[in-house]
Amino acid sequence: MRTLPQSARRQLDEAYAFSTVTPHLADGRTIETVVMHYDATSRSRARTTICVSSQVGCPIGCSFCATGRSGFDRNLSEAEIVDQFLMASRKLADAQRSLTNVVFMGMGEPLNNYAAVVGAIRRWAAPDTLNFSPRRVTISTIGLVPFIERLSAESLPVNLAISLHAPDDELRSSMIPVNRKYPIAAIVGAARAHAERTGRRTSYEYVLLQGVNDSPEQARRLAGLVKHRLSHVNLIPMNPVEGSPLAPPSKHRSQAFQSVLQAAGISTTIRATRGLDIDAACGQLRARQPQTVLTPA
């Protein structure tokens, strides 16, 4: 920008950055951002979805999650969240493609970084920036009830995904410690209220773990919890986590679990696992990075 005085250029250089996420964050830390391409089917159009992170690491500590094992460093700024979208958009433009959906299913608990997440969604949606509809954004949360209620009052029609993973409080608390503070009944109640207020369907994410939460009886209990006109269950065979004794169930056992839910009238899908072949499934990308890049700036 040689039309500006040198002093002004120095000030701009100190205060602003064109990108905060190429290839690492400004302080050397790493996060995960994954772009997924889905072909058209008889039931849906082709789409390109970006899975973005909201924190560096995650403080929740779920027993089955690779990200939780890496610990928690800090929240991402609004700019760092926005930049993940911009970086992917630039790369896709070279291939004459564009993003159709955003999911907050990368690193971190999005509602633990509430202001930056909502700020990024509003910035994407602004007509004078990206004009990207919040209806194409999904926030995945472990179930922080006060923030779900706050989100419902935002007049922001985002989709909500609840990481449920168990049909009863005893099991869920052993897997997800924060469940002791926000039990299942409170979470489901807040999710239903959000669905009714926004008209957006709630997705209940359920990671299937062999011999832990994948029995037909547990499927029946889950069906009783989530049955609602605006709900869907997304079954997710566990991604392998190095050093963990937990494992995904067989394809047959996963399908049997799904059949119980469908027989109870619950809309259900089994998520196709993506990214395992390139270590890009949840938590794997950062786990493969040298840990030296995670030291504080």
155-208 pLDDT tens trace: 899 999 999 999 999 999 999 999 999 999 999 999 999 999 999 999 999 999
pTM: 0.86
Residue 228 above 80 pLDDT? Answer: yes
Averaged pLDDT, 18-36: 83
Query: Structural domain boundaries of the chain?
Result: 20-289
Q: CATH classification of 20-289 is 3.20.20.70, yes or no?
A: yes
User: What pLDDT score does 293 carry?
Assistant: 35
Q: Is 65 a catalytic residue?
A: no
Catalytic member of 51, 58, 65, 282: 282
Catalytic member of 14, 32, 78, 170: 32
User: What pLDDT score does 61 carry?
Assistant: 86
Q: Is 32 a catalytic residue?
A: yes
Averaged pLDDT, 44-52: 92
**116: Cα within 13 Å, side-chain hemisphere:** 20
